[in-house]
Amino acid sequence: MNSGLIHKLYLAGYIPRSKYWSALQLVRDGGRWRLWGELALLIVSIGHILAGIIFFFAYNWADLTAEVKLITIQASIAITLATAYWASWDSQLGQVLVVVSSVLVGVLLAVFGQVYQTGADSWELFFTWSVLLLPWLIAGRNKVLWIVWLLVTNLAWVLYTKEILLPQGKISESFLMLGHISLMGVALSFREYFLSIGWRWLAGNWVRLILLFSFLGVLLIPAFHGLFDTGYIGGNGFILLFLATCIATFYIYWLILPDFKALTLIAFFAGLFTFLSLARITTKFASSNELFLFGLEAIFVTWLLSFLLKKISGVIQTRDRANE
């Protein structure tokens, strides 16, 4: 018996509300919580060490020679990688140290550029960082590192377009957003597909939620511009793409890969878009009392989301009981 079964019994009415927490305590897995605590402390301690290294350079920057700066960072990378290899790449300590070493690579590139005044643009730093992270990504099989790589790659794309392509008029702001959307959509699809064929290192519901949140969040930005800026290039197309994406992802996480948390996230973005659409109509046609109408619209959308999510939760619970 585990906490999941206790929760199902509670939802089915077999365990009264007053006894719910007591029942959970009876099946609490002490070893699992101890493992969670050890991992949390490990992450916090490694984070403090990494912050200490960065602040050491920030505080003593003027007093350090170029050789000391570069040697210290390179030695830190070597030590973290060697320790990760000694502890095993797949161990918790090894996974955390691989992420630390990947962050230090970015620090090394930044210091190298400042010491030798290479004159490189910001996008080149992040692009080089992204490329250098690929061996870490392949060898480490680390989902946190994968998220870091996606962040660095996104930043490289943003800086390249803003520093090179946009000033030269080669692309529009819409194309910049389309690049973001494509990258996050491919990343989410990559995760779901390769997890389904056995890449267990991509497991963890939080990975799905982060990627889904990033995907829908990036897609909502141009859809928002399409609602409020009639001159925004491709605005109507982004609105249709956002709506189609919400429908497609809802279908996937409702029937193909059932996940109530993912459905809640999709419903949140759909509700936010609904509120923005109502607000757009209000600003266009209402001549007064706009704030009052915005409040009514927010209350209506919140109630609608709560109602729908409650219905969805009930259907999922009924379906789970039928499958048992």
Q: Read off the pLDDT of residues 155-172 as tens digits, 9 standing for 90 and up.
A: 888 888 888 888 877 777
In-domain check, residue 179: no
Residues 45, 49, 55, 56: is their CA dihedral positive or negative?
positive
In-domain check, residue 178: no
Evaluate if residue 300 carries a pLDDT over 70.
yes
Cα dihedral angle (117, 119, 120, 123), rounded to 10 degrees? 110
Taking the C-alpha atoms of residue 258 and residue 149, their distance in angstroms, rounded to an integer, is 27
3-state SS class at 63: helix
CB 226 within 8 A of CB 244: no
Tokens of 25: 């305590």
Tell me, yes or no, whether 195 and 138 share the same domain: no
Residue 180's pLDDT is 83
Residue 114's pLDDT is 72
Taking the C-alpha atoms of residue 92 and residue 209, their distance in angstroms, rounded to an integer, is 21
Taking the C-alpha atoms of residue 166 and residue 163, their distance in angstroms, rounded to an integer, is 7
Give me the helices (H) in the chain, please: 3-11, 20-26, 30-60, 66-87, 92-116, 122-140, 143-160, 173-196, 205-228, 235-251, 260-285, 290-323
Taking the C-alpha atoms of residue 226 and residue 235, their distance in angstroms, rounded to an integer, is 4
**Among 94-98, 151-155, 215-219, which range has the highest average pLDDT?**
215-219
Taking the C-alpha atoms of residue 172 and residue 179, their distance in angstroms, rounded to an integer, is 11
Tell me, yes or no, whether 233 and 303 share the same domain: yes
Please state the pTM of the whole predicted model: 0.78
Question: pLDDT, tens digit, for every residue of 125-136?
Answer: 888 889 988 887
Q: Which domain range does residue 35 map to?
A: 1-48
Residue 253's pLDDT is 92
Mean of pLDDT over the chain = 82
CB 263 within 8 A of CB 312: yes
**Among 66-75, 137-146, 191-200, 310-319, which range has the highest average pLDDT?**
191-200
Residue 214's pLDDT is 93
Taking the C-alpha atoms of residue 93 and residue 274, their distance in angstroms, rounded to an integer, is 44
Residue 119's pLDDT is 64
Question: pLDDT, tens digit, for every residue of 19-63?
Answer: 767 776 676 666 666 767 776 777 787 778 778 877 877 777 677
In-domain check, residue 59: no
Tell me, yes or no, whether 112 and 192 share the same domain: no
Evaluate if residue 4 carries a pLDDT over 90.
no
Question: pLDDT, tens digit, for every residue of 210-247?
Answer: 999 999 999 999 999 888 887 777 788 999 999 999 99
Q: At CA 164, angle to CA 158 and CA 166, rounded to 5? A: 75
Tell me, yes or no, whether 318 and 209 share the same domain: yes
Tell me, yes or no, whether 243 and 324 share the same domain: yes
Residue 245's pLDDT is 95
Residue 71's pLDDT is 85
In-domain check, residue 7: yes
Percent of the chain whose predicted confidence (pLDDT) is above 90: 20
Question: pLDDT, tens digit, for every residue of 194-214?
Answer: 988 888 888 888 889 999 999
Evaluate if residue 93 carries a pLDDT over 90.
no
Residue 323's pLDDT is 65
Residue 84's pLDDT is 82
Evaluate if residue 1 carries a pLDDT over 60.
no
Question: pLDDT, tens digit, for every residue of 254-295?
Answer: 888 888 889 999 999 999 999 999 988 888 776 677 778 888
In-domain check, residue 312: yes
Tell me, yes or no, whether 322 and 192 share the same domain: yes
- The mean per-residue pLDDT over the stretch 4-12 comes to 70
In-domain check, residue 249: yes
Tell me, yes or no, whether 297 and 215 share the same domain: yes
Taking the C-alpha atoms of residue 296 and residue 68, their distance in angstroms, rounded to an integer, is 62
